[in-house]
Structure 1
């Protein structure tokens, strides 16, 4: 079923028609949001480690599968249904408000850490307050109250979270984690003409402050290519990751604006802020985890398709594919999406391959060892936030079979909701969330990418707020080819 926004043309050939609602505009939003909340609580509760938070993550995974699979069928209508949706948004606000109290510092210390905490708490509480005020908005609200759902509030939170991120970087100038060192040193090596797949991250093991990867670059070169300018100009690649998070929030907001979802009948204006103010966001930035690059690429891709900028969309997806290996799992999902389609997907793959090719040509054995075999040979770890990690405590080895079976289910769901931008984002989120749940090593950062995709899916479908009347339902399904004008 496809629901249309009021006041929008019901013409499937228009650009605005790309953001249509294969995910029903009421009944399935609740499970999707609850799934996001459960995953956010799970990764924050144990900093993305340990067995017991997996129960929350599995509950969130199940809720997302229910939502995307249309197991809950039909739109909520009437006062009780609106109240039910309202309870979901309240739950989201509570998760955000509670999340600001969980601020692990690890390698951060001093006054800058205090500044980061203060700004992050303010940003998180303001985001939660904006959602709650949007939920109960009534005509004639005072100007101060209306400010909570205004663009000024959105940009204020962006400013607060940006300030919190800068302060966190200053508070932890040298976090003891291999990702930080391999990104910093590989960026230096890029300017010196060194091959990142042949570098080591310290002169010797003795001087290396972490007991982790020492001479292995486990990513694709796009990660360092994008972050190297921030190392050169600002001395720290994490400024690039912070900017990528801001770009993601802005892109999601623009998706909502194009979809007519920022007005009185739209989604809460604070929705895009979830990619900045989720519980533990500053912890993720401190650790230099690279998922913000990927979320920025995918959100810009979705916005570019809506804006008719096909080349931007192709390049954005190509950058994601050239940055981290597991993004290749989204190639079929992108090809499923009629507005992007096989032709543009192949173009993105070609651009990504061209970006990676120089390193393959110069040192094929080094590239194969670092970028391929290192990831395949990772052992199952007991502190992983995944099913294999928990089962390893009782001596059970799952092997690849359950992962393959779960991914088949995820791809089937992605195929079912493939018709529009919301379906693409939801399908991509399901595929990557399923991988994380079933993978050998999954931690806090791995889950933040599917969480961002779920937020983008909500923004793209433009579900109306709790006081809006039910939208007319159309049974026609959008059919577009990859050759359609973008």
Structure 2
């Protein structure tokens, strides 16, 4: 029989520790583009260790409104105070930064006044945060119509190639400041973002659409309660947001798939959850790291995980068949052998930049696989609720980032997004109700499945 491990009730101070680490991590991440600094690596490592301790102790953390106010006011201070990399300049830069600051402060005020503004405060927080994110994206796209980054160039030109019936893995990119002869993502990154190019001239418009769809997934996951609104505000208004949208980094697309996977699983529609997860897995390679955990988590389980892999494989297959050698080169061998980028804030680059030591590939493999093994054991034995599982997924990705040759703001942002999702999932059950869960809903207690029901008054 699987041992039952009771989650611990966290003290109120744990919420404030989480907020401080959130602000520290995102402040450092905003500063990290494009520079390497040892304090950045150490701060991200501290956040990783704190997440591991959180999982080991199984502390229940719920953000109260004053912790959220602190987080949002902190973001409003960090965004203009910490060096920010962007191709947006002049008045447009002031407008974009000002939008994030005003959005964060407005959300903080709404949260602070929540007792007086019920029932309107919670949806208002989510709406204001989403609108601020959308406005920031619009400013970035209009003010910087051609960012000098290979990500944007390859996404734009691969979208054009799809219309011409060309294989993106056999294309050469014109005027790319970086990679010129490879499409390093899986094909559905381009497919899902191409409509932004076709309809509005820029793939970043579609990244905005998928981010907002992901926000809707968070709202659905959190059942429209405070935790959902808080998670949306923290993520949409996080320091470094302008850089992410300006550079066309694609993690919001993956976030959308994971958010809707979690929302559908939480609603007992785990088979439907296969679809957004498969689309995410067909968009970027490293999500394959998460599938073993889902394989052992009974609410999703073996059959649905295998179905996810099969559907992702079917979605990818046309491009593989069109040019197997090109596909494998672009998505696997090029990345494995790619040179380290010196402003990646990881332990691999710390050893290289500070001591001239190139860590062998097997060291990275041991750390990542060791973390995955610990996570697999914990998930298999505990059969944790969804909120804890999301944090295990975040930890695996975070460790993989910290020991990689290449990991930047966007990869770390996805780990933070999974933590935010876990907060929304954990707050989905309103006070005064009991959550009775069977295997289909994520516990190991073996009780028959039943509906949530109010407790006696």
Q: TM-score, normalised by structure 2?
A: 0.85
- After superposing the two structures, state which structure 1 stretch, 319-328 or 304-313, moved more: 304-313
* Residue matched to 2:32: 46
2-side partners of 1:221 and 1:22: how far apart? Answer: 42
Deviation at 1:254, TM superposition (A): 1.7
Equivalences for 1:237-386 in 2 at 5 Å? 237-257=203-223, 262=225, 267=227, 269-386=229-346
Equivalences for 1:114-193 in 2 at 5 Å? 114-133=94-113, 137=115, 141=116, 143=117, 149-193=121-165
Q: 1:402 aligns with which of 335, 357, 363?
A: 363
Residues paired across the two proteins, number:
434
Deviation at 1:324, TM superposition (A): 0.6
C-alpha distance after superposition, 1:34-78 (max 9, x if no partner): 4433321221122263123112111111111111121xx6669xx
- After superposing the two structures, state which structure 1 stretch, 222-231 or 154-163, moved more: 154-163
Deviation at 1:458, TM superposition (A): 1.3
1-side partners of 2:135 and 2:6: how far apart? Answer: 38
2-side partners of 1:29 and 1:337: how far apart? Answer: 27
Q: Is the 8 A contact 1:32 1:67 kept in 2?
A: no
CA distance change for structure 1 residues 464 and 300 in 2, over 3 Å: closer, same or farther?
closer
Deviation at 1:180, TM superposition (A): 0.3
Q: Is the 8 A contact 1:359 1:367 kept in 2?
A: yes
Q: 1:227 aligns with which of 188, 193, 203?
A: 193
- After superposing the two structures, state which structure 1 stretch, 21-30 or 241-250, moved more: 21-30
> Are 1:92 and 2:71 matched, yes or no?
yes
Determine helix, strand or coil for the equivalent of 1:270.
helix
2-side partners of 1:415 and 1:32: how far apart? Answer: 25
* Residue matched to 1:79: none
Q: What do you get for the CA RMSD once the two structures are aligned? A: 3.3
2-side partners of 1:149 and 1:464: how far apart? Answer: 18
Deviation at 1:23, TM superposition (A): 5.5
1-side partners of 2:19 and 2:376: how far apart? Answer: 18
CA distance change for structure 1 residues 37 and 114 in 2, over 3 Å: closer, same or farther?
closer
Q: Is the 8 A contact 1:414 1:424 kept in 2?
A: no
Q: Is the 8 A contact 2:111 2:125 kept in 1?
A: no
Deviation at 1:395, TM superposition (A): 1.2
Deviation at 1:346, TM superposition (A): 0.6
2-side partners of 1:219 and 1:268: how far apart? Answer: 30
Q: TM-score, normalised by structure 1?
A: 0.80
2-side partners of 1:174 and 1:306: how far apart? Answer: 40
Determine helix, strand or coil for the equivalent of 2:390.
helix
C-alpha distance after superposition, 1:428-478 (max 9, x if no partner): 10000111111111111110110000000111122899xx8999999x982
2-side partners of 1:213 and 1:451: how far apart? Answer: 27
Higher helix share: 2
2-side partners of 1:251 and 1:129: how far apart? Answer: 24
Deviation at 1:358, TM superposition (A): 1.1
* Unaligned 5+ runs, structure 1: 1-20, 77-81, 203-207
* Residue matched to 1:4: none
2-side partners of 1:472 and 1:340: how far apart? Answer: 18
C-alpha distance after superposition, 1:148-205 (max 9, x if no partner): 8331232123122211211111011000000000000001001101110111111xxx
Larger RCO of the pair (alpha carbons < 8 Å, separation 6+): 1
